[in-house]
């Protein structure tokens, strides 16, 4: 009887969202609810909840092997820093809750996990894991722009009533503290000094190009990045410059306008003009 109850408790830890934390935070209260005999109570009191938690992380990790296709460098860096089981153990409850809602597509499953991972890292002491957030943002941006490119039909010609600046196909701009290419090269070369990577602030544009059917990664200066970040497909050129100005108040509007024209020359965005009456 004792062994069966212990097995049941361990199974609940692995399969019931929140149960592992309830057991850890209120063991005596949980044992009172189970109404177990003294021998079983003593056996459950010796249960290594931390070890069960690590095992739950291992299970979740294996169950997410199909989500890493677009995030190989993030996975490698998580492994390098010894964080895989910690992260997946923390994600276990959300994963179980999602499983209870029915079968998920791989994209939905991946989106759920990387969203959790981004929040988890943002709220963790990541100074000991330099570049991890930046690499996640890099691979997530590439993946999401590729999905957007695949899901978006070519824009149809519309009659415009006013000028607007529109992105070419799919576009995303991010600011990073560590350059993802610096980390990627060390990981791919097996460099044991990955953790010694130094900050190299950068602005990257992820451009999903329909004609080439790929995602190009462009390095930008701060002014051009600020301008492109304000392109939403509805604003005019003047409105884009106005929106970008508070981001870099020390930069003149003329320089911001010149940055927008450079982006047009790169064919990253296009200025569509209103039709004449």
Q: How many degrees, rounded to 5, is the angle at CA 232 between CA 120 and CA 250?
A: 85
List the one residue out of 118, 146, 142, 151 whose CA is nearest residue 218. Answer: 142
pLDDT at 236 over 70: yes
At 156 the pLDDT is: 52
At 275 the pLDDT is: 61
At 124 the pLDDT is: 80
| pLDDT (mean) for 72-92 | 91
Phi, psi of 231 (to 5 degrees): -80, 115
DSSP category for residue 127: G
Structure tokens of 168?
């070419």
- Look-up: residue for tokens 């799919």? 170
| pLDDT tens per residue across span 158-173 | 556 688 999 988 999 9
SS3 148: helix
pLDDT at 88 over 90: yes
Helices and strands of the chain, counted as H and E runs: 13, 5
SS3 76: helix
Taking only Cα atoms into account, the Rg of the chain, rounded to an integer number of angstroms, comes to 25
How many angstroms separate the CA atoms of 248 and 271, rounded?
A: 22
pLDDT at 207 over 60: yes
| pLDDT tens per residue across span 113-163 | 999 999 999 888 667 789 999 999 999 999 999 999 887 665 555 556 688
| pLDDT (mean) for 50-64 | 87
Contact criterion met (CB below 8 Å) for 230 and 244: yes
At 1 the pLDDT is: 45
């Amino acid at each position: 009887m004792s062994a069966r109850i212990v097995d049941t408790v361990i199974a609940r830890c692995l399969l019931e969202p929140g149960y592992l934390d309830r057991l850890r935070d209120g063991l005596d209260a949980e044992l009172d609810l189970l109404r177990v005999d003294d021998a079983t109570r003593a056996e459950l009191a010796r249960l290594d909840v931390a070890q069960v938690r690590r095992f739950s992380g291992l299970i979740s990790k294996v169950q997410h092997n199909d989500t890493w296709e677009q995030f190989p460098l993030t996975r490698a860096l998580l492994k390098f820093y010894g964080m895989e089981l910690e992260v997946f153990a923390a994600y276990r409850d959300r994963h179980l809750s999602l499983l209870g809602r029915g079968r998920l597509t791989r994209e939905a499953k991946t989106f759920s996990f990387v969203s959790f991972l981004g929040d988890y890292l943002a709220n963790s002491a990541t100074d000991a894991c330099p570049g991890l957030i930046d690499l996640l943002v890099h691979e997530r941006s590439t993946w999401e722009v590729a999905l957007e490119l695949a899901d978006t039909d070519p824009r149809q010609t519309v009659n415009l009533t006013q000028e607007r600046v529109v992105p070419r196909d799919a576009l995303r701009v991010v600011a990073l503290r560590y350059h993802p290419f610096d980390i990627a090269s060390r990981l791919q070369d097996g460099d044991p000094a990955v953790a010694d990577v130094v900050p190299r602030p950068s602005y990257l544009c992820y451009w999903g190009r329909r004609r080439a059917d790929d995602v190009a990664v462009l390095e930008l200066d701060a002014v051009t990045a600020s301008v492109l970040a304000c392109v939403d497909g509805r604003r005019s050129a003047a409105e884009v410059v106005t929106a970008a100005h508070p981001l870099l108040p020390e930069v003149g509007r003329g320089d911001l306008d010149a940055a927008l024209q450079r982006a047009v020359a790169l064919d990253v965005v296009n200025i569509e003009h209103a039709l004449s009456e």
